[in-house]
Amino acid sequence: MPVEIIAHRGASREHQENTLPAFMRALELGSDAIELDVHGTADGQLVIHHDPVYGAGRIPLAERTLAQLRSETADGALPLPTLPELLELVHGRVRLYVEVKGAGLAQLVVELLRPYASWCAVHSFDHRIARDVHLAEPSIRTGILTSSYVLDPARELMESGAVDYWQHHELVDSALVGVIHRTGARLICWTVNEPARMRKLAQMGVDGICTDVPGLARDVFAA
């Protein structure tokens, strides 16, 4: 099976990460999927942004409405995109991997993504989010993120109901690939930007590579 090329926050080396231009460029470069981060606003909107704060004033996203955040956009910065705007832009052309960053967002995410479950997935460092999304809507693919080499990854997958295991690429080895595959899950590595490492991970049998340079990754695997 070909390795899935996942654009990390869009084509984030060419455009500001987690913005519509970065996502558009990821599509143009032939990415198989796009990864992004979401937080909730005070008025229940899901905005795409990595950090819990925004702009020159370091405004907490959870304490402002979407209208307030867009009115307070720093000079020269692009407006915060919302998850519905990205869903409309992508429209099923690639898979979206939605990393849920903010607390208490599982139900809101489920309600929004349920109609798009065939091409959207959810993952988080907070494994309770993966569990809660899976329990609320099993048709939505879920994953768990980690930057540790845990002793029993199969148990982590079972307890969360996840089917994607997101591991930092430096902690991936053939033994871990084997464990994950024996559970029936997929192993996705983040964030991989060097061609030699991409090839090495592919040789190990990983299922997906999340990268800041999806165009380069496409060239690597086309060669």
Mean pLDDT along residues 149-173? 97
Class assignment of domain 9-222?
alpha beta
Mean pLDDT along residues 50-79? 84
> Phi and psi (nearest 5°) for 178?
-65, -45
Q: Residues 192-212: pLDDT tens digits?
A: 999 999 999 999 999 999 999
Q: Based on the number of CB atoms within 10 Å of its own CB, is 183 exposed (0-12), middle (13-18) or buried (19 or more)?
A: middle
Mean pLDDT along residues 110-133? 98
For residue 22, pLDDT over 90 is answered with yes
Contacts of 111 (CB under 8 A, 6+ apart): none
For residue 49, pLDDT over 90 is answered with yes
**pTM of the model as a whole:** 0.96
Between CA 120 and CA 141 the distance in angstroms is 7
In this structure, of 18-32, 65-79, 93-107, the range with the lowest mean pLDDT score is 65-79
Mean pLDDT along residues 30-44? 97
Beta-sheet pairing, 186-190 with 141-146: unpaired
